[in-house]
Structure 1
Amino acid sequence: MSGGSMFVQQFSVLVRAINQHRPPLADNAQLLTVGRQLCPSTRWSHTMCLSDPDTAVLIGGEAADQNYCKDSLWKLELDSDFWFPMNSSSSGPVPLCARGHTATYDPDSKSVFVYGGLREGQRYSELYILNTVTWKWKLVTAKGNVPTLAYHSAVFYKKELFVFGGVQPGHSSGDKSCSNALYIFNPEFELWYQPIVEGDRPLPRFGHSATLLSQRLIIFGGRKTATYLNDLHILDLGFMEYAAVKCGNMPPLPRGFHAAVPVSDNRILVSGGCSAIGALQDVHVFSTDTNMWSSVASPVLCSKPRAGHSMISLGCSVQRDTEKREQGENVRCTLLVFGGSDCSGTFYNDTVKCTVEVPGVK
């Protein structure tokens, strides 16, 4: 038996839960071309983040038959929409092929922090740091209470990496397979630690989203063993206190493996995801001012069901209408979406750049 098979068997119950909506076998090439241009192969459960205002990086992912994507590292020039492989332009201990990891950009150090995930034959507690100035990788020998997680969430706040939830290895079944713990990594001391957090702690989960709005972390959805969730919690990072949010209207369908981005200081946008009825093709916005959800019409984002995709914001602008002040300020956001799956056998490698109009809150 291979090392990768033994690794997966350690948490076979949880993997079966994840695989309930995993797409079956589909045709997939290692490198695909659009016209003359190379582009990443089809995938989901990858990550994508900005490495500077003009460049995005794509890392890892999974394709047909639960295979890791061999073409795992790419750059995208945002102005030209040109993809090119990173392997030839970077040096150091490059992360192995992975899925269910996180890639988080720290603008202060100009570095991308790649943590956790499922890596064939490897533990998934590793933390890699990509210096986007030198394009050199570093594998961190971390100290402290080092977590081992996949399908978690991660954000940077005040020069530290905050990691919440995810899958834990080594548990046979049940709720213990998922985590609701909060871990913090301090890059200066290369140290992991767990802070004291008060309040109404969210249920254990994986495949959720955690979106940073100022000093508030908005945790939405995910999956708890076989159950999809649509609850919402806010973690105040100043007071380190959770609050369960009672929404003022009907929330979106329970889901996991969706994508979420901030669209203003008080609103997040959620796209797609897996649900009990399959992949979703909807867009919703949550306002922390009103605790209300609203649906958003986006012909591009709603054109097909999509889960396990990546979505990043390329910038938002306020649209003021002096004749409609009572309707609040509309926000126009440019979003970049890559890949994902319809949970029915089709994987994507399309790069979608679109503008979404988010109506103002009355």
Structure 2
Amino acid sequence: MHDPTMAVEGDKMVNGRYNLNALLSELHYDDWTLLHSFGRRPLARYKHAIAVAQDKLFVIGGSRNGRYFSDVHVFNLRSLTWSLLNPRIDAENIGLENSTSKEVFPTIAGHSLVEWENKLLVIAGHSKEKSDSVIVWSIDLKTLVFSILKTQGKIPVARAGQSVTIVGSKLIMFGGEDEKRQLLNDLHILDLITMTWDVVETKNVPPSPRFDHTATEYAGRYLFIFGGSTQSLCLSDLHVLDLQNMEWSQPDVQGVAVTPRGGHAGATVGDMWYIVGGGNTTRGATETIVLNMSKLAWSDATMVTTQHPLASEGLSLSTISVDEESLLIAFGGYNGRYSNQLFVLRPKPRLPTKPKLYQSPAAAAAAASVTAAYAFATSTGTKDNDPVDENLKKEQVTRHPEAESFATEMLAVEEKNLGSKLADVRRENAKVEGNLEDVRNRQSLLAMELKAVQSQLEAERSRCFKLEIQISDIQKRLDSMVSIERELDILRQERSNMEQDMARVQRQSSGGLLRWMTG
């Protein structure tokens, strides 16, 4: 994790600030890294929406403690600087000619945000301005004017927590929760050319009603729906809609088991669909999971702690491009605390695969029949001049260049992967060598300290030995002092006896003289 206050040489700084391109080489694969930024960050929030356009990350709306936001923030991906966008209102278009409202943008949460032809489209969501049907707002990135796009057709009922996915010139909206908190599982398509809504009738069993789920498209033909919430529980199911025949399926998925979650965020890098955050009834999801859409296999990319800002619901995730490499960027969320931090992840490069066709049961049975017939024909043999065999040979010849191209592409990607791994290994080796040098230096210092301590210990031992000799000598002196004390006591006693004798003699002498004087 980088400190923006430290001095950086070379191209790591742009106008005195960090350059995301220069930081790319220092990001570890499949590992979330806090991205330091400059400028005034947006207030912490969740159930907002983000989108990337023109090397900028746009953050619109959201909620905090029941309050809806109407602000539009921009994060410059080149200078890593936050700024506040003030789009102008097209008052005539939205019927506010005489309005005195000073709001920059309508308060909104639980909405969706996508880029379309140099415009940001804000779709649905709960707002202070009540509406019976879905509203599509537009922010023109050239003029910075926002307005309501006039749509027609079968306009969906107002909702929030829906998923919105762009496939070609079509905007596909699924599910959500209406103003009466009724869960939905309807499918609507907005033609962005004619701005016409249509309700889509699908085949087979659709996903159950839900909101706060995620969706993405694959190969321009399939719509994936994952997870989400109901009023009482969270989901972990995966559904696929074939957009050609409008058939739903719930395919078998391999790999790790995924935990149920709602309020999570998703973004794709190639064939890989990354799912971050979300929560269930007890905690936030700590695993960043990845679905290989070509193989239908789940795996864990990385994991954070339960208190990490990414183990949150209502966060947003998007893909950015740095030096022709895709990174994931996440913002906001709530897990007991609201967040306004940015995190980036550098996905591990993976080999490209051909798009997989997800067949309905009937189509799968037909394909199995064709395969069985072909196997039977092959087992019975064909002549060299058999037209079927000739066609097969031509097909093989036709596919050969494609196979070579695909193999070349795989080798190029593998070479890039190996180069990246080699660079990582070299960086790790450099770190290890630096750590070893530090250990050697510390070991040398410790050896010197140990030698000094040993010298001190020897000095203390010599001093203790001298003290023991002195103590022994003092003890002997004390013993001799005891005998001296005894002799002194005897002498004192003898002196006392002598003094008593002398006193008695004096008294006797004094008495005789007195008697003579008085006689």
User: Structure 1 CA distance, aligned partners of 2:241 and 2:230?
Assistant: 19
The one-character-per-residue Cα deviations of 1:304-357 (angstroms, maximum 9, x if unpaired) are 422211110113899xxxxxxxxxxxxx74111111111x2x100012233232
For residues 353 and 191 of structure 1, the distance between their equivalents in structure 2, rounded to whole angstroms, comes to 37
RMSD: 2.6
Residue in 1 that maps onto 2:63: 62
> TM-score with structure 2 length normalisation?
0.54
Q: Distance in 1 between matches of 2:340 and 2:308?
A: 15
Greater Cα radius of gyration, structure 1 or 2: 2
Structure 1 position 90, deviation (Å)? 4.0
Moved over 3 A (4+): 298-304, 315-318, 358-362
Structure 1 position 218 matched with structure 2 position 224? yes
For residues 301 and 226 of structure 2, the distance between their equivalents in structure 1, rounded to whole angstroms, comes to: 17
Give the corresponding residue for 2:342: 351
Structure 1 208/316 Cα, relative in aligned 2: closer, same or farther at 3 Å?
farther
Match of 1:187 in 2: 192
Question: SS of the counterpart of 1:210?
Answer: strand
Residue aligning to 1:152: 162
Local SS of the residue matching 2:347? strand
Q: CA deviation at 1:110?
A: 1.8
Shift of the alpha carbon at 1:157?
1.5
Which of residues 77, 90, 93 is equivalent to 1:92?
90
Distance 2:197 2:179 in 1: 18
Match of 2:299, SS state, is strand
The amino acid across from 1:307 in the alignment is: E
Structure having the larger proportion of residues in helix: 2
**Are 2:253 and 1:254 aligned?**
no
Distance of aligned partners of 1:110 and 1:214 in 2 relative to their CA distance in 1, 3 Å threshold:
farther
Whether the aligned pair in 1 keeps the contact of 2:47 and 2:63 (CA below 8 Å) is yes
Q: Does 1:44 align with 2:54?
A: no
- Whichever residue aligns with residue 114 of structure 1, its letter is V
Equivalent position of 2:293 in the other structure:
288
- Give, as a single letter, the amino acid of the residue that structure 2 aligns with 1:338: F
The equivalences for 1:199-210 within 5 A come to: 199-210=204-215
Cα distance in 2, alignment partners of residues 101 and 236 from structure 1: 25
Match of 2:329 among 318, 333, 336: 336
> Per-residue deviation at 1:188?
3.0
Query: What fraction of aligned residue pairs are identical, expressed as a percent?
Result: 23
User: For residues 38 and 229 of structure 2, what CA distance do their matches in structure 1 show?
Assistant: 40
Q: Residues 126-175 of structure 1: CA distance to partner in whole angstroms, max 9, x if unpaired?
A: 1111222222212123222211111001011121211111012346xxxx
Partner Cα distance (1:153, 1:301) in 2: 26
Aligned residue for 1:112? 120
Return the alpha-carbon distance in structure 2 between the equivalents of residues 80 and 104 of structure 1. 23
- Could you report, residue by residue, the CA deviation over 1:8-53 in whole angstroms, capped at 9, with x for unpaired residues? xxxxxxxxxxxxxxxxxxxxxxxxxx9972111000000000122x
**In structure 2, what is the Cα distance between the partners aligned to 1:301 and 1:240?**
39
Asked if 1:75 corresponds to 2:74, the answer is yes
Q: Structure 1 residues 39 and 196, CA, compared in 2 at 3 Å: closer, same or farther?
A: same
Over 3 Å counting, the alpha-carbon distance change for 1:81 and 1:35 in structure 2 is: closer
Task: State the shift of 1:178 in Å.
Answer: 0.9
Gaps of 5+ in 1: 1-33, 172-176, 319-331
Cα deviation 1:242-271 (Å, max 9, x = unaligned): 21122224431000100111121x220111
SS at match of 1:199: coil
Distance in 1 separating the partners of 2:155 and 2:219: 26
Which 5+ residue runs of structure 2 have no aligned equivalent? 1-35, 92-103, 354-519
Aligned residues: 302
User: Is the contact made by 1:230 and 1:251 (CA closer than 8 Å) also made in structure 2?
Assistant: no
Amino acid at match of 1:45: K
Distance 1:188 1:55 in 2: 25
2:321 counterpart of 1:311 = no
Aligned residue for 2:47, secondary structure, equals: coil
* Residues 286 and 304, structure 2, Cα contact 8 Å, conserved in 1: no
Q: Matched residues in 2 for 1:178 and 1:194: separation?
A: 17
| CA distance, structure 1, for counterparts of residue 352 and residue 161 of structure 2 | 32
Counterpart check, 1:271 vs 2:262: no
Alpha-carbon distance between aligned partners in 2 of 1:38 and 1:335, rounded to the nearest angstrom? 22
Do the aligned residues in 2 keep the contact of 1:105 with 1:156 (CA within 8 Å)? Answer: no
Residue 494 (structure 2) aligns with:
none
Higher relative contact order (CA 8 A, sep 6+): 1
How far apart in 2 are the matches of 1:232 and 1:91? Answer: 40
